[in-house]
């Protein structure tokens, strides 16, 4: 809606559509992309596509 995902939304997306992550794995991944409680949706999509390659 606003072009951003919260940390919680990102976790829900990854756990629903991606590989199951431990809390530690999720926190490490989130630390790479979050400087606050939000991440730009386009940046998130780009990062996930790059990780698949």
pTM: 0.62
The range of the structural domain enclosing residue 24 comes to 4-52
Q: Which residue has tokens 């490490």?
A: 28
Measured distance between the N- and C-terminal CA atoms of the chain, rounded to whole angstroms: 28
Q: How confident is the model at residue 53 (pLDDT cuts 50, 70, 90)?
A: low
Kindly give, in sequence order, each residue whose CB lies less than 8 Å from that of residue 14, ignoring residues fewer than 6 positions away: 21, 26, 29
Please report the pLDDT score of residue 1 as a whole number: 59
Q: What's the Cα-to-Cα distance from 26 to each of 1, 2, 36, rounded to whole Å?
A: 24, 23, 15
- pLDDT per residue over 10-51, tens digit each? 888 888 887 788 889 888 888 887 777 888 888 878 877 877
Q: How many structural domains does the chain have?
A: 1
Structure tokens at 40: 């730009």
């Amino acid at each position: 809606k606003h072009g951003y995902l919260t940390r919680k939304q990102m976790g829900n997306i990854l756990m629903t559509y991606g590989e199951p992550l431990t809390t530690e794995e999720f926190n490490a991944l989130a630390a790479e992309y979050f400087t606050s409680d939000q991440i730009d949706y386009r940046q998130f999509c780009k990062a996930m596509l790059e990780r698949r390659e």
